[in-house]
Structure 1
């Protein structure tokens, strides 16, 4: 994993490590919504909700758009392309088949192998 990807992945994990942001993101996975619905559902103050949404947007997990009829309304959505990429990466990263058995480098690794 190169440094840029490591930095990106760390930023996403850091963003999702906050319980409120994780709750917000889980709600957005259920579909697009506005901040008034999120505020009501999650019981967060409007300014705190906006702060968390900006962080989720800055790491690419959330997108926003203005209402075409009344631009004062903003709708938030989970970024489908980012979710697909994360789903694929996590499926590979957490694949138990990647775990290999290796000889230990310390004294225990110098012991003779046991016969079954």
Structure 2
């Protein structure tokens, strides 16, 4: 029950995109791909970072995101549970 905050449609779609990418992806690419506003992506990425699931890499003025290596299996299991894989 401690991970219920994770079960939000936008968070799950973000995680699916990051998981399928398999590498880091720019926030602007996620915005375009998921068709969500920048402020909404920023909000969800902050909660995913604070939850220890996602890491942020700064590339100049851009931010790239990726699933932390130790959380890849957890994310895969969550996505399978909600059938997004």
TM-score (norm 1): 0.58
| 1:79 maps onto 2:68 in alignment | yes
Mark the runs of 5 or more structure 1 residues left unpaired by the alignment.
Answer: 1-8, 91-116
Within 5 A, what are the aligned runs for 1:42-53?
Answer: 42-53=34-45
| 1:32 maps onto 2:21 in alignment | no
SS across alignment from 1:60: coil
Structure 1 position 15, deviation (Å): 3.0
Structure 1 position 80, deviation (Å): 1.0
Higher relative contact order (CA 8 A, sep 6+): 2
Q: Which residue of 1 aligns with 2:80?
A: none
CA-based RMSD of the aligned residues comes to 1.7
Q: Is the 8 A contact 1:15 1:59 kept in 2?
A: no
Mark the runs of 5 or more structure 2 residues left unpaired by the alignment.
Answer: 78-85
2-structure distance, mates of 1:45, 1:81: 29
Q: Which residue of 1 aligns with 2:13?
A: 23
* Aligned residue-pair number: 74
2-structure distance, mates of 1:28, 1:77: 6
2-structure distance, mates of 1:83, 1:44: 24
Quick check: which has more Rg, 1 or 2?
Answer: 1
